[in-house]
Amino acid sequence: MPVFVAAERPVASWLKPVAGTPTRFQSDAVGREPDAVGRAREVGLVPFYRLHRRTYSTYWDLFTPDEWEKEKAGYAAEAERLRKLEAATVAWLQPGETIFEREFNYQGASDATPQRIQGRPGRRASTWFSYEVPVEPGHPMTLILTYFSGDRRALPASFDILVNGQPVAKPELRLSDPQRFFDIEYPLPRDLVAGKDKVTLRLQAREGSQVATIFGVRMIRGDAER
């Protein structure tokens, strides 16, 4: 996602209509690729009704030139981290998106419900839900779950993470500041994945508590460069 280096300028000075298409606009000499080089990358804007089956964004980071010089190294480091994470990934699934979850044989109690925070889908429960997640038995596997620190509906939460019926972690999560999405890694014992191409991941609430909203499930090779 590009950023705009134009915080000191009025929008009308750098967002221009595209000739011959009165409902389309494009940024002019202010879009930057969020990497250490800061390559130019302009952004085109089209009417919402024309975005059938396409991704779209409504928010961009906006900097002055001096601010961007200070921040772009951090953007580049994060982009490299994500690149390595993707290269290490065996499987990724989006909880709360029913059609997507079916690919991973989602199962759950009636109280396992979708939730959405800051536009991001997730799933929580007072009892349990589960998925079948691919693994690569030739590598050590690490499970990564994504949470949100300001999730007032689903925190505090105390629950068990089970893989093929065996407990691998017992998270206890509380509200915390600043509000942010964050990942926690859970290395899996090698005997749980030995000889298997997928495992059953079950999230089980402890008595009197709940399963925190899970906003992402990722299985990665634990020995990959990151």
pLDDT at 21: 85
Give me the mean pLDDT over the 94-103 stretch.
Answer: 94
User: For the domain 94-221, what is the CATH superfamily, name and number?
Assistant: Galactose-binding domain-like (2.60.120.260)
pLDDT at 56: 67
pLDDT (tens digit per residue) in 43-69: 998 888 877 776 666 778 999 999 998
pTM: predicted TM-score of the whole model, two decimal places: 0.81
pLDDT (tens digit per residue) in 4-35: 999 999 999 999 999 988 889 999 999 998 87
Residue 137: is its pLDDT beyond 80? yes
Give me the mean pLDDT over the 124-128 stretch.
Answer: 98
Contact criterion met (CB below 8 Å) for 143 and 168: yes
Among 56-60, 70-74, 78-82, 190-194, the range of highest mean pLDDT: 190-194
CA distance 40 to 42: 6
pLDDT at 134: 98
Ranges 6-15, 31-40, 65-74, 88-97: which has the least confidence: 31-40
Which amino acid does the sequence have at 104?
A: F
Domains of the chain by residue range: 3-81, 94-221
Angle (nearest 5°) at CA 81 between 62 and 68: 25
